[in-house]
Amino acid sequence: MNSRIYKNKKMIIFFLIPAFIFMFVFLYYPFVQNIINSFQHIKYMGTTSAEWNKPFYINYIKIFQDPKMLIALKNTGIMIVATILGEVGIALILSLLVSNIRKGSGFFRVVYFFPIVVSATALGLLFNLIFLYDKGMINQILQFVGYLDASTNELIDWKADHAIFTMLVPVIWQYVGFYFIILLTGLSGIPEELYEAASIDGATKFQRARYITLPLLRNSICTCVVLAVTGALKVFDLPWTMFPNGMSDTWLTGTYMYDNVFSDVDFAAAIGVIIVIIGVVLSVVVNKIFKTKSDYEV
């Protein structure tokens, strides 16, 4: 009786139809409409298209002629590199360390994952206070240790002189825990027998990590890198809270698209299409580099 239920595939369609309808209404239709909007003239949010742009591809030419958009692309490139090296790199190191802890590993799982559950707006306000020019925590610490002259009230204007660094730090800090959990889950799936056999053969901890852990963790690392790349392309809330309106030339593709969406809808739509294209291309490149394989295939 039970085997007949699993062999009957007709009911699968009944359960999949609601999911397909949801994806069509809230994913595919808006995406296709956004592409169409990028070729039309739509000035303000909520207004209909008056006509097609002349030429219809003018917004895509404008993207590479707009100085602010070029700054956004450059900063987004920096963000992508920083998220791969900072978020995924640090998460990999932390996951390797925590996986070797026999007692108390649950504490570190909670501590490292905690920042991801905090609102990005709250984190932005928090780091605004940390990097505050006068009475900010960083400047006070630097004065205390003697790096800055406290007698003359020497201060560093982090948001003006080191804007990109100031923006990257909270973004990296927030998402390290997310990739940490993914990588730690991947580590838990590696058979312990492999490490025991390597230990018997005289392999050191470094050799076990290099020749067993990293190769078998390739698929998990690939997933994290793809998520980091796509996340860097669309990150918005935390940078916008710290640097509204691209203060100190901190435009990102996500923030610059948002800045245009209320006054130049078709141009913002074109930026959205470019973000998707870059994300797809980079995701394909990452998958080619890592050459993902089935579990435990080296």
10 found inside a domain: no
- Grouping H, G, I as helix, E, B as strand and the rest as coil, residue 42 is coil
What's the pTM? 0.85
Beta bridge pairs of residue 52? 40
The verdict on residue 197 lying in a domain is yes
Residue 2 lies in a domain: no
Phi, psi of 120 (to 5 degrees): -65, -35
Beta-carbon neighbour count of residue 241 at 10 Å? 19
The C-alpha atoms of residue 192 and residue 99 are separated, in whole angstroms, by 12
Domain boundaries, position 178:
38-290
Q: Tokens 């007949």 sit at which residue?
A: 4
For residues 5 and 274, which has the higher predicted lDDT (pLDDT)?
Answer: 274
In a domain, 26, yes or no: no
Q: Residue 123 corresponds to which tokens in the numbers above?
A: 């984190």
Report the number of distinct structural domains present in the chain: 1
Residue 295 domain flag? no
Inter-residue contact 254 to 234 (CB < 8 Å)? yes
Q: Does residue 4 lie in a domain region?
A: no
Residue 297 lies in a domain: no
* Mean pLDDT (the chain, rounded): 88
Residue-wise pLDDT tens digits, 47-101: 777 788 888 899 999 999 999 999 999 999 999 999 999 999 999 999 988 888 8
Question: Is residue 135 a part of any domain in this protein?
Answer: yes
Q: 181 near 189, Cβ under 8 Å? A: no
CATH of the domain at 228: 1.10.3720.10
Beta partners for residue 40, in sequence order: 52
Dihedral sign computed on CA atoms, order 242, 248, 251, 257: positive
- Give the mean pLDDT of 189-217: 86
What's the pLDDT at 294? Answer: 52
